[in-house]
Amino acid sequence: MNRLLMIGGQEIIVIAIIVLLLFGGKKIPELMHGLGRGVKSFKEGMSGIENEIKKEIPSEDLNRNEQQPQQQSNVLGTH
């Protein structure tokens, strides 16, 4: 299945040619600008969600949860 998801250089060139034919050279920068804004918005949303979670969970709970897996692995004899 991983082979199906791998895209090589030739595939990228074919995709780029198809996009160029469909949208034209003048429209591509506008599309990329919109894509960039979408990625930025997504990252801001994820950051906001992380901040909300951190506000809701007291820092003591976060520290305790981070230390527990390490303590459990030491008990089991693994590192």
1-27 confidence digits (pLDDT tens) = 456 667 788 988 898 889 888 888 888
Residues with Cβ < 8 Å from 23, sequence gap 6 or more?
31
Residue 26, CA atoms < 13 Å, CB-side half-sphere: 0
Grade residue 60 by pLDDT with cuts at 50, 70 and 90. low
Asked if pLDDT for residue 62 goes beyond 70, the answer is no
Asked if pLDDT for residue 78 goes beyond 80, the answer is no
Q: Is residue 42 within 8 Å of residue 50, measured between CB atoms?
A: no
Dist CA 35 CA 43 (whole Å): 12
pLDDT score at 61: 61
Dist CA 15 CA 32 (whole Å): 15
Grade residue 43 by pLDDT with cuts at 50, 70 and 90. very high
Query: To the nearest whole number, what is the mean pLDDT of the chain?
Result: 78
Q: Is residue 30 within 8 Å of residue 38, measured between CB atoms?
A: no
